[in-house]
């Protein structure tokens, strides 16, 4: 049962017509959405950890220890965030509202990650790339400098589009469902 079908049942119940609501189907729908959200969060976390690890190895091999240290700090930060998120998710119960709250917590984590990405990912990456680029490639043409520097605002812009088009609408939909379920009880 998807959200639109639930909305029809909800509207009909508000008009005092009685319909049976299949709570097991609703719960399974919430579980599926939660798993989809969890896969997206896991992919984002693992991708960022792999990118940061690659940059760490790259800078370490090139004897840029400052840049490698910055990237190591980013990798440690990401791993700690991942472990904390997974520990928080284990605290939710296996009920319909518990699974709904877990999915919302995962979305909140994802939204917070995207909003703070310029601080924890783009700023260290820009710093390390800028320092290394300036030290080793001062004679490079200016268009190459512009290309490298333009990648960072573009990354921020793309992450904001993802936030606005994907995460926030999902969150509003799940919050609406949670509010409706709580008013029924």
CB 173, CB 3: distance < 8 Å: yes
* Res 172: pLDDT: 93
* Res 16: pLDDT: 47
Task: Give the least confident one: 41-50, 55-64, 90-99.
Answer: 55-64
Report d(CA 128, CA 68) in Å as an integer. 8
CB 106, CB 34: distance < 8 Å: yes
Specify the higher pLDDT residue, 141 or 161: 161
Backbone angles phi, psi at 43, to 5 degrees: -65, -45
Asked if the model's pLDDT at residue 163 lies above 80, the reply is yes
Residue bearing tokens 């029924």: 184
Report d(CA 164, CA 185) in Å as an integer. 32
Report d(CA 115, CA 6) in Å as an integer. 31
Asked if the model's pLDDT at residue 78 lies above 50, the reply is yes
Q: What percent of the chain has pLDDT over 90?
A: 41
Asked if the model's pLDDT at residue 19 lies above 60, the reply is no
Quick one: which of 110, 90, 92 has its CA closest to 100?
A: 92
* Mean pLDDT score across all residues of the chain: 84
Asked if the model's pLDDT at residue 18 lies above 50, the reply is no
Band of residue 17 on the pLDDT scale cut at 50, 70, 90: very low
pTM of the model: 0.75
Band of residue 109 on the pLDDT scale cut at 50, 70, 90: very high
Quick one: which of 124, 181, 174, 126 has its CA closest to 149?
A: 126
């Amino acid at each position: 049962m998807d959200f639109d079908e639930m909305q029809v049942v909800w509207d009909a119940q508000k008009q005092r017509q009685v319909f049976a609501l299949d709570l097991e189907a609703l719960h399974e729908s919430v579980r599926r959405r939660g798993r989809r959200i969890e896969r997206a969060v896991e992919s984002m976390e693992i991708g960022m950890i792999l990118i940061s690890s690659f940059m760490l190895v790259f800078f370490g091999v090139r004897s840029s220890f400052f840049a490698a240290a910055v990237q190591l700090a980013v990798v440690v930060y990401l791993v700690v965030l991942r472990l904390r998120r997974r520990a928080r998710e284990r605290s939710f119960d296996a009920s319909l509202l518990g699974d709904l709250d877990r999915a919302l917590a995962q979305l909140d984590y994802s939204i917070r990650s995207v909003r703070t990405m310029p601080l924890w990912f783009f700023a260290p990456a820009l710093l390390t790339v800028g320092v290394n680029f300036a030290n080793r490639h001062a004679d490079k043409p200016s268009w190459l400098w512009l290309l490298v520097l333009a990648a960072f605002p573009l990354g921020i812009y793309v992450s904001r589009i993802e936030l606005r088009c994907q995460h926030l609408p999902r969150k509003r939909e799940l919050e609406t469902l949670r509010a409706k379920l709580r008013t029924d009880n």
